Homo-oligomer: A and B are copies of this chain.
Amino acid sequence: SDAETIAVIPGDGIGHEVVPAALRVLEAVDGVDFEFVHVEAGDAVAERTGEPLPEETLAAVTSADATLFGATGETSADVILPLRDAVDSFVNVRPARTYPGVDAVQPETDLVILRENTEGVYAGIENRLSADVSTLTRLVTRSASRRLGEFACDYVADADADGFTVAHKNNVMRVTDGLFVDTIEEVAADRGVEVDDQYMDAMATHLAMNPAEYDVIVCPNLAGDVLSDLAAGLVGGLGLLPSANVGAERGIFEPVHGCAPDIAGEGVANPAATVLSTAMLLDFLDYDGAAAAVRTAVESTLADGPRTPDLGGSATTDELATAIVDRL
């Protein structure tokens, strides 16, 4: 058939609650008809088989058009880093915004972080040279920086944004972040996109005080990890944040939150971040109308629908999914 294939990895803990909820929404939305391949990854399968990322899962992800990923526990790094690699997802797209009626430290936040997703300190080249000395090789290439820069320019054009801000530390990491910033600025200049840049430490201060100043932020891998979690704190926590690991051919879509062992099994986890991740998946596969419908339904539900306990209500995961489906 012509249906796109979606690999589905609930993972651990609340992954088993929020992923099925998101699938209910995905199955209800008009105009899409996916084939789902359900596979395992994370602590539970590692416990059982010794392997947090079974071959079968890797194969499913690399042959699917896109993957919906829930959350994993202790084994997260062993699962998500190889998966990002396997689909060559060169950018991690992390929007952070607030919603009317949802408490936030900085209610005016509405930004997106485009995080380099293949290299930097995540290149994983480490050595213990002696009892005293260890090293890690941080890798920055012109090609990865260029690809991210091109993506950022496309993103800005699509989102009708004014331009983007590059976060970096090129006063200390002169050669590597120098290459990163220079390359991205070259791409932006070629494309006629406005770009400014800021030290990542200064950006942390400004984000905390005035997040509304930012729109699109482009940054190296670890900077993106930290700045996006900071942005998450400003909008009220990880609970509502989706993300997309985007490659040229495939993508992996995951809520930013973890597997929340403290509430797992109670059926009260908020599925909104995972549902919003499916909206990013729909965008990626060019179902723009369906993506917009899902987002609108989530926004409307957050505004005046039932609420899960994280947002002060007592609704269940399923009730929230039903409310979202009803508003599609």
Contacts and interface: CB of A to CB of B under 8 A. Distances in A.
Central interface residue in A106, A133, A237, by most chain B CB within 10 Å: A133
A234 interface: yes
A208 B208 contact: yes
A170 to B, nearest CB: 9
A311 interface: no
B176 A202 contact: no
A209 interface: yes
Given A172-B77, A209-B237, A139 B132 contact: no
Contact of A135 (B133, B137, B204, B225): B137
Contact of A122 (B105, B133, B172): B172
Interface in A151-186: 169, 171-176, 178-179
| Oligomer copy total | 2
Contact of A173 (B81, B126, B202, B206): B126
A246 interface: no
A136 interface: yes
Interface stretch (A7-15, A60-68, A140-148, A318-326): A140-148
A229 B201 contact: yes
A128 B175 contact: yes
A205 B233 contact: yes
Contact of A204 (B81, B206, B229): B229
Contacts of A77: 171-172
A222 interface: yes
A175 B134 contact: yes
Interface of A: 76-77, 81, 105-106, 121-122, 124, 126-128, 131-143, 169, 171-176, 178-179, 200-202, 204-209, 222-223, 225-230, 232-234, 236-238
Give me the 6 closest cross-chain CB pairs, A-B, nearest first. Answer: A208-B233, A126-B175, A205-B233, A201-B229, A204-B230, A77-B171
Given A81-B172, A127-B175, A136-B138, 9 more contacts: A121-B169, A135-B139, A136-B173, A137-B137, A204-B226, A204-B233, A205-B238, A208-B230, A230-B230
